Amino acid sequence: MASAARLDLDGYAIKPMTICMIGAGGFIGSHLCEKLMAETMHKVLAVDVYSDKIKHLLEPATHPWSDRIQFHRINIKHDSRLEGLIKMADLTINLAAICTPADYNTRPLDTIYSNFIDALPVVKYCSENNKRLIHFSTCEVYGKTIGSFLPKDSPLREDPTYYVLKEDASPCIFGSIEKQRWSYACAKQLIERLIYAEGAENDLEFTIVRPFNWIGPRMDFIPGIDGPSEGVPRVLACFSNNLLRHEPLKLVDGGQSQRTFVYIKDAIEAVLLMIDNPVRANGHIFNVGNPNNEVTVRQLAEMMTEVYAKVSGEPSLEVPTVDVSSKEFYGEGYDDSDKRIPDMTIINRQLGWNPKTSLWDLLESTLTYQHRTYAEAIKQAIAKPVAS
C-alpha cells in the first residue's frame, strides 16, 4: 500500500496530485496507472477510447485505490470534456498516438493527425491554463544515424559520435517525402518543437519523453486473438505471435537493423521520477532506453526463440526465421532507422535513473506472460474448422 510520506530526489515530501492521463488504456498507460495506484497517492483521470488493459485496475470497485482512478471514454479528436479534465488536473500526461510502424506508410494522414493535430489542443489547454505537461514523443525523431551515411568501410562508423543519440546535439535525419514511414517521426518532431516554443514564449512547464523501444506484457495485440487477423503490431508482438503459432519469425530486409530494448517496468520508474520531480524534469527532453540491450532484429529473433522454448517447454522450429522484404511486409513507402543507442547523460544528471533489466531477463518475464495469456486461445483458434 502507498505511503503518504514519499520523498522527492531533493528530500521534500511529495504532495499527492491529480493527473490527466491521455492514452491511459494503452501499453505504457496501463503500466503507468498500475505503478501510480500501487506506489503513490496520486489520482488518475484516465482518458482513452479503450479500457481493456486497465480493466483490472478499474474493477472491482473494492480495490484500495478505487477512489483514485476514474476512466473517461473519450476520443480526444472531438470531445469538449477534454479541457475540463485538463483544468481539473495538476499534470497532464499525453500518450495518445498511432504508433505502430505498419500504419506510418499505409495510413499517413491518420498518423500525422494523431501525432500532431490531435495533440495540439492538449498543448494549448495546458499552456492557457498553466498546467504542467509530460508529452510522449519517440526515439524515431532522430531518424537515421549520421554513421549510416558514411562509406561501409569507414572506421568512423565505430565512433560513437556518429551513432549515439543525444537529446541536445543529434540532428533529426529522415528519408524523402515518398518514404512515408517518416510521417510519424516528422509529426512527433513538430509537436516537440511546438511544446518547446510554448515553453520558451509562454512559460509552459513541459517534459518531453523519447522512449527507445519499451517492451513488456500487454504490448499491442496478438493478431486474430485480441486484435485484427491482418493487423501488424510492433516487433515484440509479431515475433510472439509467430512463436505461439509455431511459425518462423519474419525478418524484414534480413533483420539487420539494430535496436536497444528496455523493460517497461524499468522505463516506468523513469516516468515516475519525472512526475515526482518537476523542478528537475521541467524544460527537459529525456531519452529513456537501455543502451546495454542492443541487438540486431535477427539477434532478437534468435533470443526470443530460445527464451520461448525455455518458458513454454516446446521445441524450437528447425528453421526458426524467414527473410521477407520490407515492401512485402509493410508495403510501399517503408524505410527504417538503422541503429538506436540512447545517450543517458541528461536523464542520469537530472533524475539519477538507470535501466536495470537485461534483454534475456525481460524477454523471459514477457514471454512467460505471452505464453500464459495466449497459448490456449491460439490452440483453440487453430483447431477451429474454417467456415466454408
Ligand X SMILES: O=c1ccn([C@@H]2O[C@H](COP(=O)(O)OP(=O)(O)O[C@H]3OC[C@](O)(CO)[C@H]3O)[C@@H](O)[C@H]2O)c(=O)[nH]1
Based on the residue annotation, tell me whether 184 is a catalytic residue of this protein: yes
Please, which of residues 187-226 interact with ligand NAD by CB under 6 A? 211, 213-214
Strand 294-296, strand 214-215: pairing: unpaired
CA–CA gap between residue 167 and residue 165 (Å, rounded): 7
* Residue 164 identity: V
Cα 204–206–207 angle (5° rounding)? 170
Nearest CA to 282 among 201, 350, 202?
Answer: 350
Binds 259, which of ligand NAD, ligand X, none (CB < 5 to 8 A, cut-off by type)? ligand X
119 binds ligand X (CB under 6 A): no
Q: How many residues bind ligand X (CB under 6 A)?
A: 18
Please, which of residues 38-97 interact with ligand NAD by CB under 6 A? 48-50, 75-77, 95-97
What mask, x for binding ligand NAD by CB under 6 A, covers residues 133 to 172? ---x-xx---------------------------------
All three cell numbers of 103: 500504419
Binds 95, which of ligand NAD, ligand X, none (CB < 5 to 8 A, cut-off by type)? ligand NAD
187 binds ligand X (CB under 6 A): no
31 binds ligand X (CB under 6 A): no
What mask, x for binding ligand X by CB under 6 A, covers residues 192 to 231? ---------------------x------------------
The active-site residue, picked from 104, 125, 184, 263, is: 184
Asked if 192 and 186 count as a contact pair (C-beta separation under 8 A), the reply is no
CA–CA gap between residue 141 and residue 340 (Å, rounded): 11
Beta strands per DSSP E along 212-293 = 214-215, 249-252, 258-260, 262-263, 284-288
Q: How many residues bind ligand NAD (CB under 6 A)?
A: 24
Binds 50, which of ligand X, ligand NAD, none (CB < 5 to 8 A, cut-off by type)? ligand NAD
Asked if 381 and 225 count as a contact pair (C-beta separation under 8 A), the reply is yes
Helix axes 183-202, 108-115, angle to 10 degrees: 20
Q: Which of 21, 69, 76, 99 binds ligand X (CB under 6 A)?
A: 99
CA–CA gap between residue 25 and residue 93 (Å, rounded): 13
Nearer to ligand NAD, 187 or 251 (CB): 187
Measured over the CA atoms of residue 330, residue 333, residue 339 and residue 345, the dihedral's sign is negative
CA–CA gap between residue 53 and residue 198 (Å, rounded): 33
122 binds ligand X (CB under 6 A): no
Only one of the segments 77-85, 132-140, 314-322, 350-358 lies at the binding site for ligand X (rule: CB under 6 A); that segment is: 132-140
Min dist CB 174 to ligand NAD, Å, is 16
CA–CA gap between residue 97 and residue 117 (Å, rounded): 11
Q: Which residue is nearest to ligand X (CB)?
A: 238
3-state secondary structure of 20: strand
3-state secondary structure of 270: helix
Q: Which residues bind ligand X (CB under 6 A)?
A: 99, 101, 138-140, 184, 213, 234-235, 238, 250-252, 255, 257, 259, 297, 336
Annotated active-site positions, please?
184
| Chain residues in the site for ligand NAD (CB under 6 A) | 23, 25-29, 48-50, 75-77, 95-97, 99, 114, 118, 136, 138-139, 211, 213-214
